[in-house]
Amino acid sequence: MSAYWRERTVLITGASSGIGRALAVELGRLGARVGLLARRAEALKATAAAVQSAGGVALAMPGDVTLLADVQRAVGQMEAAWGGVDVLVANAGVARPRDPFDPEAVAALMAVNFQGAVNAVGAVLPGMQRRRRGHLVAISSLASVRGFPQGPAYSASKAALSTYFEALRVRLRQYGIAVTTVHPGFVDTEMTQGAGWLPLIVSAERAAVIIRKGIERGKPTVTFPLPAVLAMGLVRRMPAGLFDRVVGRVPPRED
Ligand SMILES: NC(=O)c1ccc[n+]([C@@H]2O[C@H](COP(=O)([O-])OP(=O)(O)OC[C@H]3O[C@@H](n4cnc5c(N)ncnc54)[C@H](OP(=O)(O)O)[C@@H]3O)[C@@H](O)[C@H]2O)c1
């Protein structure tokens, strides 16, 4: 598998921190050419430098996934530099604002977590269909399995993302395009900072290795860590009354 990433071109959205940054460095270490997209230009430059010191090649492309033109411009840059995008990792995501009763806050969150991924797919797909190969990867969440009251809009955005990518997996098979949906449990990143104790949390670097191996193996879904997977399997099957009592014990966090 070590040759898998050599010269492969990968667009990672949300590459300025956390899982996106760790994955960029991990793939760079294995020889990938990585296109990095996020809004914070300075942080993106730092990721590019880290990819290069790990042995990879990186292109920092500041942009906002909610703006289709930004994502299309980034894909155009990768096509000009490297001939196309082999793998898309739609990773950009936000957990805030959390107010589930403010329509604008919910729309803003959906615009990044769901529409942002849709924009990225729309930008890379024509090239992948032309070349009849490619791999679309979505970083969803275990939060997609039920409607968690701690983050109603976040849960809904990740459920939409997982459902969309599952359907794409079947639709795009005929074009030779693979689709992988990733469901991480808690990962130690800016998103989880200040959240207090979180069960079974893993480092961004560990998450990156698990995601990288899942992509290499062409898995339809990648879910981790294992104990959280088992717990979520139970939560998924809980009847509504029991689910309400169990998850209702954890107070919602709002800002
Ligand atoms: N941490 C966890 O426990 C956990 C668990 C399950 C799933 N996830 C998912 O993993 C993904 C990565 O999150 P993380 O934990 O690594 O958190 P993070 O460190 O906060 O990273 C989020 C990334 O998304 C980017 N982003 C946010 N809004 C964007 C926009 N409009 N356009 C472009 N980029 C944008 C951020 O960059 P800029 O601010 O520079 O734009 C940043 O690079 C997210 O989809 C998250 O939902 C995280």
Contacts of 137 (CB under 8 A, 6+ apart): 87, 88, 89, 90, 179, 180, 181, 182, 211, 215
| CA neighbor of 184 nearest in space, from 233, 157, 151, 144 | 144
Domain that holds residue 161: 9-247
Tell me how far the alpha carbon of residue 242 lies from the centroid of ligand 1, in angstroms: 31
- The answer, yes or no, to whether residue 213 has pLDDT greater than 70, is yes
Q: Verify whether ligand 1 is closer than 6 Å to residue 72 (CB atom).
A: no
Q: For residue 156, name the pLDDT band (cuts at 50, 70, 90).
A: very high
Strand partners, 117: none
- The answer, yes or no, to whether residue 254 has pLDDT greater than 80, is no
**What pLDDT is attached to residue 251?**
78
pTM above 0.85, yes or no: yes
- Domain membership flag for residue 4: no
- Domain membership flag for residue 87: yes
Q: For residue 255, name the pLDDT band (cuts at 50, 70, 90).
A: low
Domain total for the chain? 1
What is the CATH classification number for the domain harbouring 21? 3.40.50.720
For residues 129-138, average pLDDT:
97
Cα-trace Rg, the chain = 18
Q: Verify whether ligand 1 is closer than 6 Å to residue 164 (CB atom).
A: no
- Domain membership flag for residue 255: no
**What pLDDT is attached to residue 75?**
98
pLDDT tens column, 2-61: 699 999 999 999 999 999 999 999 999 999 999 999 999 999 999 999 999 999 999 999
Ligand 1 pocket: which of 11, 17, 65, 221 to mutate (most atoms <8 Å of CB)?
A: 17
pLDDT tens column, 90-112: 999 999 988 999 999 999 999 99
- Domain membership flag for residue 3: no
